[in-house]
Amino acid sequence: MAFVGLAMAFVGFLIAFGSLGLASGASGRLILVLIGIVVSLAGIMGPLNQAYQKKAVWKR
């Protein structure tokens, strides 16, 4: 799960970076960049953080 979260974080960056080639206008790029940021944050706060929370010291 941790690697899924990490992969999501990186894919979010790729989506934002890819907006440079996939869209030509500022509006299209804006939407893709925002999607990328959301995907990255979701990966970090979701699967990645949750995977480490499962083995947190206060749960032992």
Partner 1 sequence: MKTTLLTFTMTASLLGAGAARAQAPAPAPAQPAAAAPAAAAPVAITDVDLKAIAGPKAEDRAKGDPGGTITGTVNDIVVGDPKAGLTLPDLVNMVGQNQIAVNFVWTLVTGFLVMFMQAGFALVETGLCRAKNANHTMMMNFMVYGVGMLGYWLFGFAIQEGGVGAVANLGGTAPLSAEHTIKMFGKDLGLWGQNGFMLMHNGTYDVGVMVMFLFQMVFMDTALTIVTGTAAERWKYVAFVASSFLMGAFTYPLFANWAWGGGWLATLGANFGLGHGYSDFAGSGVVHAVGGLTALAMGILIGPRIGKYGRDGRAHAIPGHDITIVLLGCFILAFGWFGFNPGSTLGASGNGNLRISSVAVNTMLAGMAGSFGAMLYMWIRYGKPDASMSGNGLLAGLVAITAPSGFVNPVASVIIGLIAGVLVCLSVEFIDRVLKVDDPVGAISVHGANGLWGVISVGLFADGKSNYGGAWNSVPGSVTGLFYGDGGQLVAQLIGAATLIGFVFTLSFVFNLLIDWFVGQRVSARAELEGLDIPEMGALGYPEFVLKTEAVGVE
**Would you tell me which residues interact with partner 1 (CB under 8 A)?**
6, 9-17, 19-21, 26, 29-30, 33-34, 36-37, 39-41, 44-45, 48-49, 52-53, 55-59
- In whole angstroms, the minimum distance from the beta carbon of 33 to partner 1 comes to 5
Q: 3-state SS of 9-57?
A: HHHHHHHHHHHHHHCCCHHHHHHHHHHHHHHHHHHHHHHHHHHHHHCCH
Task: Determine the residue type at 10.
Answer: F
Shortest Å, Cβ 55 to partner 1: 8
User: Rounded to the nearest whole angstrom, what is the least distance from the CB of residue 57 to partner 1 in the complex?
Assistant: 6
